Each structure stands twice: as structure tokens, then as C-alpha cells.
Structure 1
């Protein structure tokens, strides 16, 4: 049996990057890059990753900000950009609203809420952030609590997404009835 290495070899990465560069226009490369950014990043760094000029990156980033896909911190010099998590959540909720019926969405929310109640009963709180994860003496107990709290946070996020999806599905793609 061969040993698995999660890091791809340099040739494979270079091949994928070359294909991306050849098959994606500058706007697409800036878009892909900003979706991968998790912290405010100067436009010159986005340009480097997107393999374009800083001016082109800044122009496309400003367009992405106008579209609501990215956010900017104009107070910093140079301006820093990051993805707009709200846009990504809306996009995911929209996909759920398209893929599922309102009844299926409601049923999923009920399942998630029951799961959340199990965590609330187990940890005797309604706030997963208030759970003392490291108050245990044993590594396995700490690991188990970390996994549970992470799962609880995920359930909270999914409840919000499915509720948003329900609103979209019930209102023909709008958040409020038309």
C-alpha cells in the first residue's frame, strides 16, 4: 500500500495553475482569488495570486464590491479586500431553496433544531461559545467536546441557512413577500 501525501506534487499544481491561467479571464481569476481570501488582503496580493496587474485586480475587486461579492476596508492603505460571507450564505441558501421543497426545508430545520436542543441539554446552555472545552483533564474528553461544540456551531449556521432558504422558496426567490 502506498503512503498518502495530502500535498500535491509541484508539477500537478503547476499544470492546474497553467490551465486556470489559460482558461480563465482576468475577472474570473480575481473572482476565484477573492473567494479564497479569508482575511482582508491588499489588492497587490490578490493580483499576484490572480496573475494580473495590480491595477486590473483593483478594478475587478471594486466591481466585485459593487456586486456584493467582496468587501473592502478603505481605511487601510492600501485598501484591503475580502470575500463577503453574507453573499456566500445567500448563494448557498438560494441553492437549497431551488433544490428542496418548502416542506423538505421545514423538516430539515426541525431536525436541526432538535439536534441543537440536544446540545443545549447536554451542556446546560443555549450558547455554544460559552462551553468550556479545555476544562477537562483528558485529551479524549477535550477532543470530544471540541467536536461537539463545532457540530453545534454548524447546526446553528445550518438553521440560519435553511430558514433563509425557506423564506426564498416561499417568496419566489425574494426575502420578503412581493
Structure 2
């Protein structure tokens, strides 16, 4: 343990899953992967036997958490669609239709503000350098911050709208 770590604090970033069981270590490793990765590489990162990693990766594949690619050797990658679906389901379960509608309105208002400010329909349509140069009060960092927030608001609005639709269907089925 380094001198800066307390025994009761979180593990270091390099060994974030040291206290977890093997399933959690494999799951945590999968969450961090950004490209197809072999079971052996995942096992190495999760500090477990490759056979054990393959077992859990097969199970995660059946659940839709990972996508298995039939290359040689087989590779696995995180299934972002699964996590998106899970997030939307959680939003629908945790919030009423009215709460979800209100959040969609708030996000839409923020998005419209950015559209008006930058005179563009999407963040991708903005030339950040030109926008910063044509502004007396916005630096390039401010513009990039706005564009990132705008993109996030657009993604969140889509999630909340999908959750609202799902919750509305669920509420109608219960009646």
C-alpha cells in the first residue's frame, strides 16, 4: 500500500477490483474494455484463470452484457446497447411519467438555448474555433464545454423520452 492510501479508503486505480470476487473482477474488466479483447487478456487483467474468465464471459454473453466475436481466438467486448437499455429501464422504474416529461422539457429548453446561441441544429455543426473567435466573452474552452454539455443533453433527452414512453406503456397496461 502506498503512503497516500488509507487502509479504509478505496483501492488504487491500478487495482480497483482487488477486493471483489472473480465474477466482479471480470465484470469490472469488461466494463473498462473499449475494443474486442481475448478471454486471456481479460483473465490477466482480472487476475484469474483464463478458463474461469471464459466461463463468466460465456454467461455474460448469454445475458447480453458482452458481445462474443467468433474470431480466432474469440474476443469479447462490452455491449453498450445492453447498458443503454438498462439505464432506460431504471429511469422508467424510478420516475413517474410526469417527472420524465418534466426532465424532457428541461433538457429541450437547454438544447434550444444552445441552438440559439450557436445558430446550429447540433453540436457537430458548430465550428468551435470560429465560434470562440467571433465571441468577446467565450474562450475555446467555454465553447468546447458548451458543445459537450449540448451533446450530453441531447443524449439524455433521448433516454428520458424513451423511458417516458416505456413508463406510459407500462402504466396503461396496469389499468
Match of 1:96 in 2: 91
Matched, 1:33 2:25: no
Contact 2:17 2:28 in 1 (8 A): no
> Any stretches of 5+ residues in structure 2 without a counterpart?
none
How do residues 1-178 of structure 1 correspond to structure 2 at under 5 angstroms? 9=5, 12-13=11-12, 17-20=17-20, 24=21, 26-75=22-71, 77-135=72-130, 136=132, 141-172=139-170
Superimposed CA distance per residue, residues 13-48 of structure 1 (whole angstroms, 9 cap, x where no aligned partner): 38864422xxx2x33322222122223222211111
> Any stretches of 5+ residues in structure 1 without a counterpart?
1-7
The TM-score normalised by the length of structure 1 is 0.78
RMSD in angstroms over aligned alpha carbons?
2.8
After TM superposition, give the deviation of residue 166 of structure 1 in Å.
1.0
Q: How many residues align?
A: 163
Contact 2:17 2:25 in 1 (8 A): no
CA gap 1:45/1:134 in 2 versus in 1, 3 angstroms = farther
Secondary structure of the structure 2 residue equivalent to 1:109: helix
* Equivalent-residue separation in structure 2 for 1:36 and 1:156 (angstroms): 24
* Equivalent-residue separation in structure 1 for 2:162 and 2:70 (angstroms): 30
After TM superposition, give the deviation of residue 168 of structure 1 in Å.
2.3
Superimposed CA distance per residue, residues 41-65 of structure 1 (whole angstroms, 9 cap, x where no aligned partner): 2221111122211122122212212
Secondary structure of the structure 1 residue equivalent to 2:76: strand
Match of 1:4 in 2: none
